[in-house]
Chains A and B, each alone.
Chain A
Amino acid sequence: MSALQSRSEIRDVVVIGSGAGGATVAHVLTDLGIRVTLLEAGPMLDPYQEFKEHNWPYSYDHRGAEDGGGRYFGTGKPFGFFATTSGSWDLDGEPYTVADDTKDFWWFRSRIVGGRTNHYGRMSFRFADYDLKPRDRDGLGWNWPISYDDLSPYYDKAEQFIGVVGSREGLRSAPDGLFHDPPPPKAHELLIQRASHKMRIPCIPNRRAVITRSINGRPACHYCGQCGRGCRAGSNYSASQTQIFPALETGRLELIDMAMAREIIADETGQINGVVYVDKRSGQERRLSCRVLVLAASACESARLLLNSKSPTHPDGVANSSGMVGRYLMDTVGYDIGGTVPAFEGMPRYNSDGAGGSHLYMPWWGLDRENELGFPRGYHIEIDGGYQMPSVGMFGGAASRAGYGSAIKEQAYRGYGTQVSFAGRGEMIPNEATYCEIDPNVVDRYGIPVLRFHFKWSDYELNQAKHMNSVFSELITSMGGTPQPPGRRDAEGISIGGSIIHEVGAVRMGDNPRESVLNQFCQAHDTRNLFVCDAGSFVSNPDKNPTLTINALAWRASDYLANEMRRGVL
């Protein structure tokens, strides 16, 4: 360790990563009076400068096509020019590799205060009771060391704090929460709901982290539908605005941005002493000492940091006596198709922006019908459509059908708002062939060894994606529409691994220290003063988008951690 700059002070709790997990830990602990130091590998977020909420395409000379027409050449920002600052699949100087046995894997990394919660879809679904005991149902994968009753009080806390719209439905596959009133359905959703009901699929108010009444000084949603651009008003959940900024105001949170963690330092007994990080601005290494270290760098970054921290007491990496760090990585099964529904032609125009995302969704409806369906585990369906803000590329199809002239305007006008799309999000079963490890041959620009990914879908997932295709096609055709072929990400009949950005597992929890890295409180079996509070702890990856469960698990771990500190154990 050269040019190591030590700070003599010993921090109480150092947290690495400021996304849903790290921000929840910072918020809960500072609320309890504990001092926290938060490291973030990217810069501070400034919503006023960076968010493009409410800006029109003509506010920019490039209209959203980006400089040099980057969108036309496939080199634009990952979710479009107007999407909020968050991260990318490709980070300059921070590569990852994909093993020879793997066709493709995409790894989205965020480098900004708030992490991926700045851009995420804000779907907020509780795991169901059976989701936590999957092996008991079908003998596949593993059970979690906790039950729904352990998690439910923390879902309550998380929902009450971050704010989630929804409705009480009494469905086992979609447990009810403490909801804000949901906005009413949009027009296209009413037709989709009828198509859905005809197929005996429930279609209920969506559950998203948006507030429809003011809480904690945050104003209620103003229905511009632009959550993905970032909400300057803070009416949706982002870890930055909802948790980190208020935590900073307590005076108990120290935030160090542009800090890329390199290695965890352990003493001769195996306890964690602190962490070494690279200050990206100066390129210099610095060291922080702490009583407790919490990793929340994202499932794979946390695994990488553990594996890169070898010492005599941790020869295979910190907390890795089980050899389980990096194993049983999962993404969500994704399959999206869209279609044109002529029945919407001639509908009166109206403002369909709404609360961002869809106002309805379809929870899993095939519980206990797995044998009949031909695949285990379930999926939910997210829907899209309506009169969206015109953007670059939106009317290309109409233009090419019309040729040229006024016919283009007529085609575009007639077709506007007739597009719908369905996105299936399903459960992947953890498998032996899907994991990450350190690539012995590649380092990033800071000299930190990078991850190499192995990823494989099994027939369980492939069959599920086929089912999605047939259900979505039937939904579209029953509305008189025409399904379109899937896009690049789903071209092989299922999404590319990692592309749904739900990578979870790799630092899983369990009761048995030989088969898991963490205990049920996200605390390392091997070292009491180390916690992992991102999605690394996930034992399975139910069809419920992971963020709300990251919030709940991190909150539960924080309560436990604070208690242990109070008892003098940590």
Chain B
Amino acid sequence: MTVPRVTRRTVLRQLAIAITAAGSGSVNLEAARLVHTIAGESRAQPGGYTPIQLTVHEFRTVSRLAELIVPADTRSGSAVDAGAPEFIDLLCSQNDQLTTIYQNGVRWLDATASKQFASNFIDTSQEAQTSILDGLVDAERGRDSNNYREGVTFFSWIRRMAVDAYYTSPIGIRDIGYQGNQVLSSYETPPEVVDFVTRAGDDLGL
């Protein structure tokens, strides 16, 4: 092979030169926007999802947990709104080790709920469900009065993945306040931000 695939680049260059020649003064922005249009590939979240790896019961349990871990509230939607259960199901379908973690985790959760509340986790009350999560957090922090140690690994996996799914979604990105990934013609740190840091520096005696 000796022929490079540079056609689009060449087109872009010529376009950039043409725009400059036309004197619009916005060559950078226009050229950059063009390439980013070529690049654009955002996807809508799928609706009416059928799990591909987890059983329906496991998927429902994972969904309920994701909702408790990152709930909808006054600031924003939940991890379920952000697609966490689908994300977890997909990765499980590609990784047996992960599937085992989730299968064992759901089994442990149901066994624990049955023992204490005589039903599967998703069929217990919200109060019962949060009491199990409280116990898991305690166990994670070394205060394991319920002997929940066995569930902690699973809990930290689903929390990690639910949180990741949330913050990598449009909902989470808006919530956290990330304002970048833009095409700008110049960069500036806004004056109110500079003022904030200046005050912080003064307060610290720097």
Let me know if B68 and A405 touch, CB within 8 A: yes
Total contacts A to B, CB within 8 angstroms? 254
Let me know if B180 and A353 touch, CB within 8 A: yes
List chain B residues, Cβ under 8 A from A365. Answer: none
Query: Is A432 close to B, CB under 8 A?
Result: no
Let me know if A349 and B35 touch, CB within 8 A: no
Q: How far is the CB of A175 from chain B (nearest CB, A)?
A: 26
Beyond A222-B28, A255-B2, A404-B69, whether A217 also contacts B13 by CB under 8 A is yes
List chain B residues, Cβ under 8 A from A389. Answer: 173, 178, 180-181
Q: Quick one: which of A58, A248, A256 contacts B42, CB cutoff 8 A?
A: A58
List chain A residues, Cβ under 8 A from B159. Answer: 399-400, 404
Q: Which of B55-63, B104-112, B115-123, B183-191 contacts A (4 or more CB under 8 A)?
A: B183-191
Q: How far is the CB of B19 from chain A (nearest CB, A)?
A: 10
Q: Complex formed: what's the CA distance from A197 to B6 in Å?
A: 47
Q: Quick one: which of B6, B91, B168, B200 contacts A248, CB cutoff 8 A?
A: B6
Query: Is B31 close to A, CB under 8 A?
Result: yes
Let me know if A387 and B179 touch, CB within 8 A: yes
Q: Complex formed: what's the CA distance from A64 to B168 in Å?
A: 9
In chain A, positions 212-263 with a C-beta closer than 8 Å to chain B are 214, 217, 219-226, 232-235, 241, 244-245, 248-249, 254-258
Let me know if A390 and B189 touch, CB within 8 A: no
Q: Complex formed: what's the CA distance from A479 to B197 in Å?
A: 11
Q: How far is the CB of A40 from chain B (nearest CB, A)?
A: 10
Query: Is A57 close to B, CB under 8 A?
Result: yes
Q: Quick one: which of A222, A387, A396 contacts B184, CB cutoff 8 A?
A: A222
Beyond A214-B16, A390-B176, A404-B133, whether A254 also contacts B87 by CB under 8 A is no
Q: Chain A: which residue is nearest B195 at the CB level? A: A348
Q: For the side of the interface on A, what is the size category?
A: 35 or more
Let me know if B177 and A387 touch, CB within 8 A: yes
Q: Complex formed: what's the CA distance from A68 to B53 in Å?
A: 12
Query: Is A392 close to B, CB under 8 A?
Result: yes
Q: Chain B: which residue is nearest A405 at the CB level? A: B71
Beyond A56-B173, A219-B27, A405-B68, whether A224 also contacts B200 by CB under 8 A is no
Interface string of B25-49 (1 = CB under 8 A from A): 0011101100110111111000000
Q: Quick one: which of B2, B83, B98, B173 contacts A390, CB cutoff 8 A?
A: B173
Query: Is A53 close to B, CB under 8 A?
Result: yes
Interface centre among B2, B91, B187 (most CB of A within 10 A): B187
Query: Is A5 close to B, CB under 8 A?
Result: no
Q: Quick one: which of B6, B32, B98 contacts A245, CB cutoff 8 A?
A: B6
Let me know if B17 and A217 touch, CB within 8 A: yes
Let me know if A352 and B69 touch, CB within 8 A: no
List chain A residues, Cβ under 8 A from B10. Answer: 249
Beyond A54-B39, A55-B41, A222-B185, whether A408 also contacts B180 by CB under 8 A is no
List chain A residues, Cβ under 8 A from B206. Answer: 191, 194-195, 197-198, 478-479
List chain B residues, Cβ under 8 A from A346. Answer: 196
Query: Is A344 close to B, CB under 8 A?
Result: yes
Q: Complex formed: what's the CA distance from A248 to B170 in Å?
A: 41
Q: Complex formed: what's the CA distance from A326 to B18 in Å?
A: 50
15 A-B pairs with C-beta separation under 8 A: A47-B9, A48-B39, A59-B42, A214-B20, A224-B182, A248-B4, A255-B1, A347-B197, A349-B178, A351-B179, A353-B181, A387-B177, A390-B178, A392-B164, A399-B159
**Known interface pairs A232-B39, A404-B159; 5 further A-B residue pairs with C-beta atoms within 8 A, sorted by A's residue number:** A44-B4, A58-B43, A219-B28, A234-B9, A412-B163
CB within 8 Å of B: which residues of A?
Answer: 44, 46-48, 51, 53-59, 61-65, 67-69, 72-73, 183-188, 190-191, 194-195, 197-198, 214, 217, 219-226, 232-235, 241, 244-245, 248-249, 254-258, 343-344, 346-355, 387-396, 399-400, 403-406, 408-409, 412-413, 416, 478-480
